[in-house]
Amino acid sequence: MADVYRWRLAPDGLATRRQLRALGLRPGGQDVVAEVHRPRRRREPLVAYLYRVDHAKPVRPMTPARAAALAAAMRARRTCPNCLTDVGYCIPPSLGMCVTCHDTPPIRKDTA
């Protein structure tokens, strides 16, 4: 089992994923070395996993192909399936369409 430390009491040389990323590093396949527990009232503690900084590897560089794939994925998240326009923000999954299409009532064709 990994070592458990209280909040802000982890030893030097250990870091979370976010802290590694800020240093330009990634865990690189290493196992979790320790956990940090942040106590909360009436709930279970928040848990952060720690990795060894000296075993971390540098972040892989962004290649043109990876940048193009990321741009395409973000474009798909911003494109409304109803009006097929890039709305400039990620469409909420709860709506399934842009806010304008969601708030606009559908046009009803009444035949008399």
Q: How confident is the model at residue 112 (pLDDT cuts 50, 70, 90)?
A: low
End-to-end CA distance of the chain: 74
pLDDT at 65: 97
Contact (Cβ atoms closer than 8 angstroms) between residue 33 and residue 3: yes
Contact (Cβ atoms closer than 8 angstroms) between residue 25 and residue 56: yes
Look at residue 1 and tell me whether its pLDDT is greater than 70: no
Look at residue 107 and tell me whether its pLDDT is greater than 80: no
pLDDT at 109: 75
CB proximity list for 56: less than 8 A, separation 6 or greater: 15, 20, 23, 25, 26, 27, 28, 30
Q: How confident is the model at residue 2 (pLDDT cuts 50, 70, 90)?
A: confident
Question: Residues 37-80: pLDDT tens digits?
Answer: 999 999 999 999 999 999 999 999 999 999 999 999 999 999 99
Q: Indicate if the alpha-carbon torsion angle 18, 27, 66, 86 is positive or negative.
A: negative
Question: Residues 88-102: pLDDT tens digits?
Answer: 999 999 999 999 999
Q: How confident is the model at residue 11 (pLDDT cuts 50, 70, 90)?
A: very high
